[in-house]
Amino acid sequence: MRRYIGKRLLISVGTLFVVILLLFTLLQYMPGSPFNDEKLTDDQRAVLYEKYGLDQPIVVQFFKYVYNMLRGDFGVSYTISKNTPISQLLQTRLPISLRIGGQAVLLGAVIGLILGIIAAIWHGTFWDTLSTIISVIGVSVPSYVFALGLAYVFGYELRWLPLLYSNDLPFESSVLPSIALCMFTIASIARFTRSEMLEVLGSDYILLAESKGVYGPRLIVRHVLRNALIPIVTVLAPLIVGLMTGSLVVEKIFSIPGIGSLLVTAIQSNDYNVVIVLSFIYSAMYIGIMLVVDILYGVIDPRIRLSKEAPHD
Amino acid sequence: MTDKEQIAEIIFRPDDFLLKGADETKLDMNFASQRFWKDAYMRFRKNKGAVFSLIMILLVVLLAIFGPLVSNYTYQEQNIAETNMAPRIPLLEDLGIFNGDETLRTSTGSKLKNAYVINKETGEKKDTYYWLGSDALGRDIWTRTWTGTRISLYIAIVAVLIDMLIGMSYGLISGYFGGKVDSVMQRFAEIVNSIPTLVIVTLLMLILKPGLMTITIALMITGWIGMSRIARAQMLKLKEQEFVLASHTLGASNWRVIFSEILPNIIGQLITNTMFSIPNAIFTEAFLSFVGLGIPEPMCSLGSLISYAFKSFTTHPFQIVPPVIVLALLMLCFNMLADGLRDAFDPKMKEM
């Protein structure tokens, strides 16, 4: 088990290192330098280069860069808001995105689980069909189509909730974006829960439990759900990817001042520094969550916990 | 003459080996060899949703090919005099639908407007028809929708090729050789997989210009991993079996064992997985175009059309409907088709 965690940790750190190396290399090849003002003499430029450490060997620069990135010192934005430290830009935007993402995950997980459980218990009935239809639509229809539909019906026609995000109504204006974002989560979790539960329901140990007189909610919660939910952590990876891409779109539609819309603006206005920092943050979040998921999977699944070797090798 | 050459001299004829008691057991030779495909076809045909999806996809493909040809407009032709025209279709307009009427919401209430009317007293209309309306620059939405669909279908083909050429080979080779080769190849795949697609695409946008080429390259970098995993897992299951050993014993090369002995056994699952990656790829393109990182104007894809129509979707909602419907239909149908194929190739999955 310890070996397994160690190996996962090593791969994660390695990947993060590769990402930073990639980003650093890209930065080197970006056109222009911060000091290409023609009025500067060579001496002045040399002084500036020394001040910012640009005269040092590339390897030293790289490790300095890694150190700064990990410390949260991301440099300044060039075009979006001139010379503002990027960490300051993130300070207000990151919490908004995280909150909406978190709400979407929570809402999606709860509804998805309920749908999946209903479909599995009443397998083959109307409820099963309904849940399947919902999950097929949820997987197939892009989140921005939902977002547009919700915005039109509830934001524009009925005017129940704000059409655009406003900082004065942080909760009300995050309801529609969260619902639009969570459709994909609902669909994948419902689908997965259903198939896992059906598999467990057909297994011998459930037959044994039933013949020993366990039935009803107790059987479902203590025996079926507990075993069926172990592999559900594996769907988290595509879910996070879905949330990341979804957030870009949903933030655009509802004009949410989060990091997704910042990334889009940064790419369109060629603000390399911001793009690279956001890429780093997205990668770090993704790698971090995947690490937690993998370790969690190892901890909750006794088949992995007890085996000496790593699970998939 | 060495032993090896002597062995090579021996040539088998079809009647050298005969099945013992073949006359009594009445083995059906024709049916036996096609059983897998025929079985899959029979099961697929019974799945109404999948057949319906296949027909819808074919219909969309036909419309994407012929749709722009039958209209009088091109996808980039602008007509400033005829912007934001509501849909108007010959024949159907006589029934009172698609006659160019549009309800506009103003601060005082709503009013009915018909942009085609040139003489208000007689109600005479212009002799122009925008079947699905025109956009804010006076471009025909029918033509643009089907031109945009072509991009999505191109992406679908790209996704299939990436899965089949890169993902499949990578997984099969990695699984077959095992050991060091597998270890190195898997670590590489793991690292590529740990970088979110979004980040890879973003970084590509910095180096290359946004466009179809960039999206294709992005899909190439990220699209093969899922497929390679499945191919590898299947290979690990099969490579220890007797028929592989037999093939080795008869002197088959590694290449031959991988691609003509093992591959046919797992092709069903690989096809299913390929079908599942199509909607993903289409979605990626539509998503990028929607946030403005995709196809540049005046070219269009379904995503960029939705993005463009989104700007005026509270005033002219009809503009956003066609690309949204086509996109959702494509995604839904490819998903349902993939589901159907999975059930057809692997009936065990059906109960789940």
* Same domain membership, residue B167 and residue B233: yes
Task: Answer whether residue B319 is part of any domain.
Answer: yes
Task: Write down the pLDDT at residue A310.
Answer: 44
Query: Chain B closest CA to A234's CA: distance in Å?
Result: 13
Averaged pLDDT for residues B103-108? 67
Per-residue pLDDT tens over the stretch B328-351: 888 888 888 888 888 887 765 544
Query: Chain B closest CA to A41's CA: distance in Å?
Result: 30
Contacts of B284 in chain A (CB under 8 A): 245
Query: Chain B closest CA to A177's CA: distance in Å?
Result: 16
For chain B, give the mean pLDDT.
79
* Same domain membership, residue B90 and residue B51: no
Structural domain including A159 reads 94-258
Cα–Cα dist B138/B154, whole Å: 26
SS3 of B124, please?
strand
Torsion of CA A207, A211, A213, A218, to 10 degrees: 0
* Phi, psi (deg, nearest 5) at residue B102: -145, 130
Structural domain including B97 reads 86-125
Buried residues in B73-87 as b, exposed as e (16+ CB within 10 A) = bebeebeeebebbbb
The answer to whether residue B209 neighbours chain A at the CB level (below 8 Å) is no
Please indicate whether, in this complex, the C-beta atoms of A148 and B320 are within 8 angstroms of each other. Answer: yes
Task: Answer whether residue A72 is part of any domain.
Answer: no
Give the chain A residue nearest B316 (alpha carbons).
Answer: A152
Task: Answer whether residue A238 is part of any domain.
Answer: yes
Residue B340 tokens read as 């159907």
* Same domain membership, residue B246 and residue B182: yes
Task: Write down the pLDDT at residue A84.
Answer: 77
Q: Which of B196, B197, B324 sits opposite A145 (nearest CB)?
A: B324
Task: Answer whether residue B4 is part of any domain.
Answer: no
Contacts of B203 in chain A (CB under 8 A): 22-23, 26, 275-276, 279
Per-residue pLDDT band at A26 (split at 50, 70, 90): confident
* Same domain membership, residue B115 and residue B159: no
* Same domain membership, residue B174 and residue B283: yes
Whether the predicted pLDDT of A313 surpasses 50: no
The answer to whether residue B124 neighbours chain A at the CB level (below 8 Å) is no
Query: Chain B closest CA to A214's CA: distance in Å?
Result: 23
Contacts of A198 in chain B (CB under 8 A): 351-352
CA A218 to chain centre: 34
Cα–Cα dist A27/A18, whole Å: 14
Task: Answer whether residue A30 is part of any domain.
Answer: no
> The domain spanning residue B273 has which CATH number?
1.10.3720.10
Query: Chain A closest CA to B110's CA: distance in Å?
Result: 13
Cα–Cα dist B238/B243, whole Å: 9
- Asked, as a colleague might, if the bond just before A34 is cis with ω within 30 of 0, I would say no
Task: Answer whether residue B301 is part of any domain.
Answer: yes
Per-residue pLDDT tens over the stretch A223-251: 787 777 777 777 777 787 778 778 888 88
* Beta-strand pair B117-119/B109-114: unpaired
Buried residues in A71-85 as b, exposed as e (16+ CB within 10 A) = eeebbbbbebeeeee
Whole-angstrom CA distances from B61 to A212, B54, B76, B339 are: 57, 11, 21, 20
Task: Answer whether residue A223 is part of any domain.
Answer: yes
> B56, B183, B194: best mutation site toward chain A, by most A Cβ within 10 Å?
B194
* Same domain membership, residue B168 and residue B275: yes
* Cβ under 8 Å to A: B residues 223-252: none
Number of domains in chain B: 2
Q: Which of B190, B287, B317 sits opposite A11 (nearest CB)?
A: B190
Please indicate whether, in this complex, the C-beta atoms of A26 and B206 are within 8 angstroms of each other. Answer: yes
Q: Which of B194, B198, B207 sits opposite A287 (nearest CB)?
A: B194
pTM score:
0.77
Buried residues in B278-306 as b, exposed as e (16+ CB within 10 A) = bbbbbbbbbbbbbbbbbbeeebbbbbbbb
* Same domain membership, residue B48 and residue B197: yes
CB B300 within 8 A of CB B148: yes
Q: Comparing C-alpha atoms, which of B52, B309, B287, B259 is closest to residue A152?
A: B309
User: Which residue has tokens 């090579």?
Assistant: B8
Number of domains in chain A: 1
Q: Which residues is B104 bridged to in the sheet?
A: B111
Cα–Cα dist A87/A85, whole Å: 5
* Same domain membership, residue B250 and residue B119: no
The total of other beta-carbon atoms located within 10 Å of residue A167's CB is 9
Task: Answer whether residue B36 is part of any domain.
Answer: no
Please indicate whether, in this complex, the C-beta atoms of A264 and B198 are within 8 angstroms of each other. Answer: no
Cα–Cα dist A244/A250, whole Å: 10
Contacts of B339 in chain A (CB under 8 A): 136
* Same domain membership, residue B237 and residue B175: yes
Task: Answer whether residue B15 is part of any domain.
Answer: no
Task: Write down the pLDDT at residue B59.
Answer: 92
Mean pLDDT lowest among A294-298, B51-55, B101-105, B176-180 = B101-105
The total of other beta-carbon atoms located within 10 Å of residue B176's CB is 21
The identity of residue A122, as a single letter, is: W
* Same domain membership, residue B64 and residue B173: yes
Please indicate whether, in this complex, the C-beta atoms of B335 and A263 are within 8 angstroms of each other. Answer: no
> The domain spanning residue A235 has which CATH number?
1.10.3720.10
Residue B311 tokens read as 């700007």
The answer to whether residue B288 neighbours chain A at the CB level (below 8 Å) is no
CB A108 within 8 A of CB A182: yes
CB B289 within 8 A of CB B304: yes
Task: Write down the pLDDT at residue B58.
Answer: 93
Please indicate whether, in this complex, the C-beta atoms of B328 and A278 are within 8 angstroms of each other. Answer: no
CA angle B144, B150, B152 (to 5 degrees): 105
**Does the structure's ipTM exceed the value 0.85?**
no
Q: Which of B196, B306, B336 sits opposite A283 (nearest CB)?
A: B196
* Same domain membership, residue B202 and residue B258: yes
Residue A216 neighbours by CB under 8 Å, 6+ apart: none
Cα–Cα dist B8/B165, whole Å: 33
Give the chain B residue nearest A261 (alpha carbons).
Answer: B291
Per-residue pLDDT tens over the stretch B9-41: 677 777 777 767 666 655 555 444 556 777 788
> A8, A25, A144: best mutation site toward chain B, by most B Cβ within 10 Å?
A144
